[in-house]
Amino acid sequence: MAKKKAKKPGETNEFRAKKREKLRFLAEMEPKKMITYPLAVFIVALLLVAVHFPPLGIELRGGVVVTGYGISADPDQVEKWLGDQLGFSVNVESFTSVDGSKGIRVYTPANADPTQIIKALKQKYPDADYTHSEVLPTFGELAKRQGIRAIAFAFLAMAVVVFLFFRNPVSSLAIIFSALSDMIIAIALMGVFGIQLTTATIAALLMLIGYTVDSNILLTTKLTRRKEDTIEEAYLSAVSTGFTMSTTTLGALFMLWLISTSPTIDNIAIVLIFGLLADFMNTWVFNAGVLRWYLTTRGVKA
């Protein structure tokens, strides 16, 4: 077995130097612009959330789910046909099981009769197997409250830990705002693309808090406890590492979204992708702008 040729130290340093040069335009931006642009995006995202909140999934609003196994069909066509048959609108999605078999899920309001839906489907797909489940609106409301409470407590716990770690209101508030902005932008994009807010996507938003804090702590630690001579060099060192972290994670999530046949996993992956793209702006532009402004006002060499 042939040994893999190891990279020489000079080649590694040259690669790092090239990557830093490509990211240098960020270090040369004025702190005022670095703060202003992400704030504008945050305000737009807030408006989008206010006027176009993501639709609630069946776990959060209640309803009936009918699953048909062994059906390979266009969900849009089934949705239109079934709506005409039943006299009310339904949502249909297709899925592929682990063993490769295909099927559809039909989502209806809570007051729908699942036997009526199955009867209608059997007219067109008599050989398919059917199951159904129902979530009462009261349980949906309870799940929604618990999800909101989980996000609120997670955010509060993160804020306390960050403040205790840095003991500096400016850097702590910048990290907390970055995490909040990541989440708001992800929710706004969910609304734009029609991705439902479900227990799974709430879990994705909770995971987003953890990733956001990691990248922001890396940046804040590098700039406030730096070993480099200048803020610019410390920032380039941090953003170079952070860029690698973000791109590798985004690549893994993109492959997960591409390969997965589960709508639930797809939604988790896409929400995390939205959040990580927002995090690149909020951490490496907004938070970096705040910290550069703060440090230069304290007389640190830029």
- Please compute, for residue 88, the number of CA atoms within 13 A of its CA located in the half-sphere on the CB side: 10
4 found inside a domain: no
Note whether 188 and 154 are same-domain residues: yes
Which CATH number is 241's domain given? 1.20.1640.10
162 Cβ partners below 8 Å, 6+ apart? 172, 175, 176, 213, 217
53 found inside a domain: yes
Whole-number Å distance between alpha carbons of 66 and 186: 29
**Of 102, 135, 168, which closes a domain?**
135
Please report the pLDDT score of residue 1 as a whole number.
Answer: 44
269 found inside a domain: yes
**Of 135, 166, 191, which closes a domain?**
135
Note whether 224 and 193 are same-domain residues: yes
164 found inside a domain: yes
10 found inside a domain: no
- Residues spanned by the domain of 87: 63-135
Which CATH number is 104's domain given? 3.30.70
Whole-number Å distance between alpha carbons of 28 and 42: 23
Note whether 130 and 148 are same-domain residues: no
106 found inside a domain: yes
Please report the pLDDT score of residue 259 as a whole number.
Answer: 86
Of the candidates 263, 260, 220, which has an alpha carbon nearest to the alpha carbon of residue 239?
220
CB-count burial class (<10 Å; 0-12, 13-18, 19+) for 260: middle
Note whether 148 and 118 are same-domain residues: no
pLDDT in tens, the chain (302 residues): 445 555 555 556 676 677 667 777 777 888 889 999 999 999 999 999 999 999 988 888 888 889 999 988 888 899 899 888 888 888 888 888 777 788 898 988 877 888 889 999 999 899 899 998 888 878 778 888 888 888 889 889 988 998 898 888 898 999 999 999 999 999 999 999 999 898 899 999 989 888 888 889 989 888 887 666 688 888 888 888 888 888 899 999 999 888 887 888 889 999 999 999 999 999 999 999 999 899 888 776 66
Note whether 155 and 239 are same-domain residues: yes
Query: How many structural domains does the chain have?
Result: 2
DSSP category for residue 130: E
Note whether 256 and 120 are same-domain residues: no
Note whether 96 and 119 are same-domain residues: yes
Please report the pLDDT score of residue 15 as a whole number.
Answer: 67
Please report the pLDDT score of residue 251 as a whole number.
Answer: 93
Note whether 86 and 189 are same-domain residues: no
Q: What angle do CA 61, 63, 67 make, to 5 degrees?
A: 130
Angle between helices 31-51 and 288-297 (to 10 degrees): 140
Note whether 129 and 146 are same-domain residues: no
Please report the pLDDT score of residue 178 as a whole number.
Answer: 93
Note whether 248 and 182 are same-domain residues: yes
Note whether 209 and 251 are same-domain residues: yes
Note whether 199 and 156 are same-domain residues: yes
Please report the pLDDT score of residue 8 as a whole number.
Answer: 57
19 found inside a domain: no
153 found inside a domain: yes
64-88 exposure pattern, b = at least 16 Cβ within 10 A, e = fewer: bbbbbeebebebeebbebbeebbee
**Of 83, 105, 135, which closes a domain?**
135
219 SS3 class: helix
